[in-house]
């Protein structure tokens, strides 16, 4: 199918043809990741998968990756296209484009389960997402449909961070009640995204991110070390209206009250929907099984001047 859709542009530069005076490279999609204005693509994105749709939103094919990760050659027939690119996707993430193979049905799901608790999810991939609407003219040159300008052989896709890191430290005032491995749970976290560009939200940076769907529970088994627990959740993005609840358990039984992270995030002014890079760190101080203090951590230090709440 790919060979039927993707045609090799067999024209070569001819000195007598003025059009060929500016054809140093074929049509190429360039990829950048600039959360703070500087391109840090090589430090964050290790693989890309490219999914091509036509102007009617019908799935065409998955394009093979280019030899250089952040430059994808495009040898396409004349027409209008949408390309969805996913970064760092492994076999614990799965895509679907529905029975009708339409862009509006295109979605990405996290599938990895906790080995001890199959009902819950384990950490996901550190995923990135990019979308580009473009056209290819009769000379094989590209035109970005979202911008005004001349056709050229260089197109650019901005990649967006679509995962979240949450680092959690649990300390007891006194001794922990149990020795061994505890369970940390995050309830109410997205495990699926709609990758349809028409179904997105905007960050404060003005960048679109995919809409989440189907909230589930992530869980990690965390051994007690030096009388404290340390864990890091890697999940799909939070939103302002979908911030999870944290639970600490031992042998399936709760050892702390439920921790509503939404309450704490609002207190601290943390707005996930307006944040390009979601990288959070929190400290739970367990007074007893009925009371927990929640504090933010900034660059490894406790910002104890802002209490995220007392729970219990």
What local confidence, expressed as pLDDT, does residue 308 receive?
Answer: 56
CATH code of the domain occupying 26-89+125-161: 2.60.40.2100
Residue 191's nearest CA partner among 72, 107, 250 is: 107
pLDDT surpasses 70 at 309:
no
pLDDT for res 71: 95
Please indicate whether residue 100 or residue 180 has the higher confidence score (pLDDT): 180
CATH topology identical between 26-89+125-161 and 163-311: yes
Q: Would you kindly state where each structural domain of the chain is located, as residue ranges? A: 26-89+125-161, 163-311
pLDDT-derived band at 260 (thresholds 50, 70, 90) equals very high
Burial of 136 (0-12, 13-18, 19+ CB in 10 A): buried
Q: Where are the beta strands (DSSP E) in 152-303?
A: 154-158, 160-161, 163-172, 181-194, 200-202, 208-223, 228-236, 245-250, 253-254, 259-260, 278-288, 291-298, 301-302
Average pLDDT over residues 100-122: 88
> How far is the C-alpha of 184 from the C-alpha of 168, rounded, in Å?
9
pTM (two decimals):
0.86
Instruction: Report the top-level CATH class of 163-311.
Output: mainly beta
């Amino acid at each position: 199918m790919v060979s039927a859709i993707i045609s090799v542009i067999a024209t070569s530069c001819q000195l007598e043809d003025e059009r060929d005076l500016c054809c140093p490279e074929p049509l190429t999609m360039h990829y950048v990741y600039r959360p703070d204005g500087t391109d840090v693509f090589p430090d964050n994105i290790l693989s890309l998968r490219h999914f091509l749709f036509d102007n009617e939103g019908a799935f065409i094919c998955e394009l093979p990756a280019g030899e250089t990760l952040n430059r994808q050659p495009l040898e396409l027939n004349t027409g209008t296209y949408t390309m969805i690119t996913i970064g760092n996707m492994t076999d614990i993430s799965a895509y679907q484009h529905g029975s009708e193979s339409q862009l509006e049905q295109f979605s990405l799901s996290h599938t990895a389960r906790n080995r001890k608790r199959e009902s819950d999810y384990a950490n996901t991939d550190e995923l990135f997402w990019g979308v580009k609407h473009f056209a290819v003219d009769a000379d094989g040159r590209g035109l970005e449909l979202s911008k005004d300008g001349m056709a050229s052989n260089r197109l650019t896709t901005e990649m967006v961070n679509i995962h979240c890191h949450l680092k959690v430290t649990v300390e007891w005032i006194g001794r922990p009640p149990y020795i061994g491995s505890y369970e940390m749970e995050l309830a109410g976290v997205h495990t699926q995204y709609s990758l349809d560009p028409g179904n997105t939200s905007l960050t404060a940076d003005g960048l679109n991110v995919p809409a989440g769907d189907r909230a589930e529970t992530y869980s990690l088994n965390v051994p007690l070390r030096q009388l404290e627990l340390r864990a890091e959740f890697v999940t799909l993005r939070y939103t302002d209206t979908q911030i999870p609840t944290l639970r600490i358990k031992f042998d399936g039984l709760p050892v702390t009250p439920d921790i509503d992270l939404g309450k704490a995030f609002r207190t601290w002014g943390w707005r996930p929907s307006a944040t390009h890079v979601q990288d959070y760190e929190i400290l739970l101080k367990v007074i007893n099984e009925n009371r927990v203090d929640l504090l933010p951590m900034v660059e490894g230090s406790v910002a104890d001047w802002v209490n995220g709440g007392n729970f219990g």
